[in-house]
Amino acid sequence: MKRPRLLPLVIAILVLSLALMGCGIVNPTVRLLTDPTATATPRTVERIVVVTATPQAREAAPSAPRPAATAAPPITLNIAPGADVETQLLEAIYQKVNPSVVYIENLTAVSRTGRSTTQALPESSGSGFVWDAQGHIVTNNHVVRGADRVQVTFSDGIVLPAQIVGTDADSDLAVIRVDPSLIKLTPVEQGSIAEVKVGQRAIAIGNPFGLVGTMTSGIVSAIGRSIPSDPNQAVSFNIPQVIQTDAAVNPGNSGGPLLNARGQVIGVNTQIVSSSGSSSGVGFAVPINIVQRAIPAIIKEGRYRHAYLGITGQTYSPAWAEALGFPKDARGAYVSLVVSGGPAAQAGLRSAASDTQVILGMGTSGPVYLQKGGDLITAIDGQPVTRFDDLLVYLESFKSPGDEVKLTVLRAGEGQKLITLRLGERPSRTQ
């Protein structure tokens, strides 16, 4: 007679237990994981860091098409409870990319006194990375400049001779090639410049001071920098959209990849700013969008042809409004010089012609004055121009010699004009 009375009590206890488990108060799984006698099972974590362009960035991006980036598979890590995710992520990136990174020696033939033969000796060294399965390797122009022979050492110690396929001094890029039948090649995965943002992780793998296979880590410190392609020359064209990083980059890192958190190449390390000649936390990399345009052309033709306007100038300042006769709220690229016979000259662009009272700086012979009379470029193909670099970025990203562009300009005393211009090819300079 007492057994039926126990049934409601048993049912109530079961219902309460299920409710507690649903609320997370009772959790048998947690007990198993915290059991000191149990073996911890590694958990799989996918896409530890996913770098994506924000909707705002997508809307602000130019409407012209960008080079397609290689699809990025997730980096999958097996991480045990309590493990350092950052460390394992860096380890995974190194294992993924280091086989693609090479040590490059620039060998110059020199005569030995008292000998009738010449011997190739290392002139300089740097880094590079495998671009494709056909044996093409990307590096800096300045790494292989002047080489009689080039020698490549892979991560497994195999040393192969390489031929210089072509170079481009204006982007400081070069392509060399090894015989693909002699070694198993691991091409890099390419990233996208549209996804690069300040604060994101940046990783460099290269051979600083000849220390092969060195990895350093930091962040993207700035984007959109413009640096001279050869700081050792008094005059050189600028490389736009350069990526700045505080990942340690030293002599010997030149030509090596700058990577994102997926192990994708986002740039080619090229220069540093330093008073000592070694890393001071300011390194620069040629952005991947320029690499993606230049390298296929260098492989095909041995060179890359840059689009050319034939002007020099600077970013317009509202402080110049009265002196130049432009509105204070105007923005654009002020044309100080139009190269004689160049595309801009043929299209009728005007350069500055006479001094104003505005001093821009001090030169070796005295004050340098702002000149008036030049056109102010406010847009190119409908894309707003607010800095002089905007012109270079647009041309380097989307245009080639022979293409036609439409420039919106302000001309003092005449108002706004639309000028159609056919782009030329940038004059070549010493490699």
| Strand partners for 421 | 405
Q: Give pLDDT tens digits for 335-344.
A: 999 999 999 9
Contact partners, residue 345, CB within 8 Å, separation at least 6 = 310, 338, 339
CA–CA separation, 136 vs 176, rounded Å?
6
Same-domain status, 343 and 375: yes
Regions of the chain where pLDDT drops below 70: 1-83, 110-123, 429-431
What pLDDT, on a 0 to 100 scale, did the predictor assign at position 123?
67
Among residues 267, 302, 337, the one where a domain terminates is 302
Q: Nearest Cα to 173, choosing from 295, 305, 296, 259?
A: 295
Among residues 235, 267, 302, the one where a domain terminates is 302
Report the domain count for the chain: 2
Residue 243 lies in a domain: yes
Q: Which two tokens stand for residue 284?
A: 């620069």
Phi-psi domain of 135 (left: phi exceeds 0; alpha: psi -120 through 50; beta: other): left
Same-domain status, 157 and 236: yes
Same-domain status, 411 and 371: yes
Residue 25 lies in a domain: no
Residue 190 lies in a domain: yes
Please state, in angstroms and as integers, the Cα–Cα distance from residue 263 to each residue in 59, 191, 205, 322, following that order: 26, 9, 10, 51
DSSP letter (8 states) at residue 60: H
Domain limits at 201? 68-110+121-302
Same-domain status, 267 and 372: no
CA–CA separation, 204 vs 266, rounded Å?
10
Q: What residue has token string 């195999």?
A: 158
Residue 282 lies in a domain: yes
What pLDDT, on a 0 to 100 scale, did the predictor assign at position 63?
43
Contact partners, residue 351, CB within 8 Å, separation at least 6 = 311, 335, 336, 337, 338, 373, 374, 375
Same-domain status, 278 and 351: no
Same-domain status, 225 and 278: yes
Residue 272 lies in a domain: yes
Model confidence pTM above 0.75: yes
Same-domain status, 380 and 313: yes
CA–CA separation, 48 vs 67, rounded Å?
26
Residue 430 lies in a domain: no
Q: What residue has token string 């790494």?
A: 143
Question: At residue 50, what is the residue type?
Answer: V
Same-domain status, 126 and 156: yes
Same-domain status, 278 and 311: no
Residue 34 lies in a domain: no
With 0-12 / 13-18 / 19 or more C-beta atoms within 10 angstroms meaning exposed / middle / buried, residue 255 is buried
Same-domain status, 279 and 238: yes
Residues recognised as catalytic: 142, 172, 254
Q: Nearest Cα to 76, choosing from 47, 43, 49?
A: 47
Domain at 334, CATH number: 2.30.42.10
Domain at 233, CATH number: 2.40.10.120
What pLDDT, on a 0 to 100 scale, did the predictor assign at position 51?
27
What pLDDT, on a 0 to 100 scale, did the predictor assign at position 113?
57
Same-domain status, 253 and 393: no
Same-domain status, 132 and 223: yes
